[in-house]
Amino acid sequence: MRPPASLTTRLTLLFVLVSSSVLLGLAWVLHTAVERHFVEMDRDILQSKVNVLERLLKRPPAAEELTALQSAVVDMFRSDPELKVFVETADGNPILSPGDIAFPGEKLRNLANGSTPRVFSWWDNGSRYRGLVKAVQPALPDFKPMIVVAAINIDHHERFMERYSRTLSAFIPVAAILSGFLGWRATRRGLAPLRLIEERAASVTASQLNHRLPEDAAPRELTGLAYELNCMLDRLEEAFRRLSNFSSDLAHEMRTPVSNLLTQTQVALSQPRSQREYQEILASSSEELDRLSRMIGDMLFLAKADNGLSLPSVQDIRMHEEMSELLEFYDALAEEEGVRLITSGRAMVRGNRLMLRRAFSNLLSNAVRHADEGGRVAVSIAEHDSTVSVSVENTGEPILPEELTRVFERFYRTEDARPKYQDSTGGLGLGLAITRAIVRAHGGDVTASSAQAITRFTVTLPRVPEEKVAGVPV
């Protein structure tokens, strides 16, 4: 496949094409203007001569003879040998002719129709002439209108126009080439910021994502591009950072159960054991394997969420009933922790029951385990114009602001939260990430806030339209 032409080459060729078009157009305009100038100049000269002839014909000599008229014309134009005068009758009989050139009689008679003078040109014996013809009614008796022509040789005009055309023909290619060279230099200079951006972009690697493209040095047309590329690099740097942290956390989380399994197996094989000891070792290994299995299952779930999680089935869900059932499930744990469970509000949403139950189970598990002794966990359900909000809040030690922005990251757990802020995933730090993935798959979102010894997670879901729940008790 042929590689595309460079931007410099395309701009240079375009510059040459535009310059050549402008030069050709300018040359045509100048050529036409100069030629028209010569025609107008010759017309003025010839018009003045024809006017003189017309006055002579309308005011003949006293002799009132044709020979006298001819003599008068010859005497008048003797001082201008370049001027050629031709007079003939309407039926083609010449009255006055220079003799050294031939006038196109048929063409003259065609042009002389009417009272307006007409300019024309013709060739004779290798020379070019321009003339002005007019029909004049003489004052001589018994004469019909005569055709009067005044003409001059325009060979000098033709030679000038020929030299002028040759000069333009030689100048335009040279000017086009020079324009192309200057266009190439200007393009190279104008595209220098692009080369700078290219060099900076080439320096960006996986280990040097902190490099940024120069926005200040870029022209206005490239500032937006540099800004968007820098924003992309910011997102990539953040994604790489999170991926690196995720890989580190994943390796750390998997190392513990794998290390436990390896240690238990090595100890079990170090010497003969009783059946009961083997059963205890296998039971312990089963717990570690179950932990690994849940971790892998959660990671697969989040991977599906990253690629567009689809809901297997949806139905109308009465949120107050679902939350009441979940609170009953956590009632024993809450009683053990000395925490009161409270629920209020009613609403209906549409979604997958099992997935939403899992999302709210993670929030309730965290709230119960993180609430202080004697505190409370409150679930508030509220309807709005187009959404339903479900808030799960607990009293207790608040989450620091810098940690609050990261609680939805995978495997993220604050040091203070590790011993008690567990979730339904077994303290892996995946529960809130799974909750957010489920809520977003339902077209909603989840936010967190923590202040004045109250931590609140609020889930916002689309509200079921009124016409869809008509007749269904909420």
Using DSSP bridges, classify how beta strands 376-383 and 340-344 pair: parallel, antiparallel or unpaired: parallel
Alpha carbons 341 and 39: distance in angstroms, whole number? 107
The per-residue pLDDT for 446 is: 93
Pick from 358, 338, 322: nearest CA to 442: 358
Fold classification of 315-469 is Heat Shock Protein 90 (3.30.565)
CATH 3.30.450 fits 7-162, yes or no: yes
Domain locations in the chain? 7-162, 220-306, 315-469
The per-residue pLDDT for 141 is: 63
Q: In this structure, are residues 250 and 411 in contact, taking their beta carbons and an 8 Å threshold? A: yes
Residue in this structure with the two tokens 């139905």, named with its chain if needed: 315
Alpha carbons 177 and 82: distance in angstroms, whole number? 44
Pick the CATH number of 220-306 from 3.30.420.40, 1.10.287.130, 1.25.60.10, 1.20.120.50: 1.10.287.130
Backbone angles phi, psi at 307, to 5 degrees: -105, 20
Q: In this structure, are residues 436 and 298 in contact, taking their beta carbons and an 8 Å threshold? A: no
Alpha carbons 393 and 112: distance in angstroms, whole number? 108
Q: In this structure, what token pair is assigned to residue 53?
A: 């002839």
Alpha carbons 218 and 204: distance in angstroms, whole number? 18
Find how far residue 118's CA is from the centre of its chain. 60
Going residue by residue through the chain (474 aa), what tens digit of pLDDT does each one get? Answer: 566 767 888 888 888 899 899 999 999 999 999 999 999 999 998 888 888 878 877 765 554 555 666 666 666 666 666 788 888 877 777 777 777 788 887 777 777 776 678 888 888 888 888 999 888 877 766 667 788 888 888 888 889 999 999 998 899 899 888 988 988 888 888 888 788 877 888 888 877 778 887 777 777 777 888 888 889 888 888 888 877 777 776 777 778 778 888 888 888 888 888 888 888 888 888 888 887 887 787 777 777 776 666 777 889 999 999 999 999 999 988 988 899 999 999 999 999 898 899 899 999 998 998 898 889 999 999 999 889 999 999 998 888 888 888 888 877 766 554 444 444 444 567 888 888 988 998 899 999 999 888 999 999 999 886 555 544 444
Helix 431-441, helix 275-306: angle, nearest 10:
40
Using DSSP bridges, classify how beta strands 118-124 and 127-136 pair: parallel, antiparallel or unpaired: antiparallel
Q: In this structure, are residues 448 and 454 in contact, taking their beta carbons and an 8 Å threshold? A: no
The per-residue pLDDT for 461 is: 94
The per-residue pLDDT for 241 is: 80
Neighbours of 396 (CB within 10 A): 22
Residue in this structure with the two tokens 């220098």, named with its chain if needed: 192
The per-residue pLDDT for 67 is: 63
Alpha carbons 103 and 113: distance in angstroms, whole number? 17
The per-residue pLDDT for 308 is: 67
The per-residue pLDDT for 427 is: 54
The per-residue pLDDT for 360 is: 93
Sequence-distant (6+) residues with CB within 8 A of 107 are: 120, 122
pTM score: 0.51
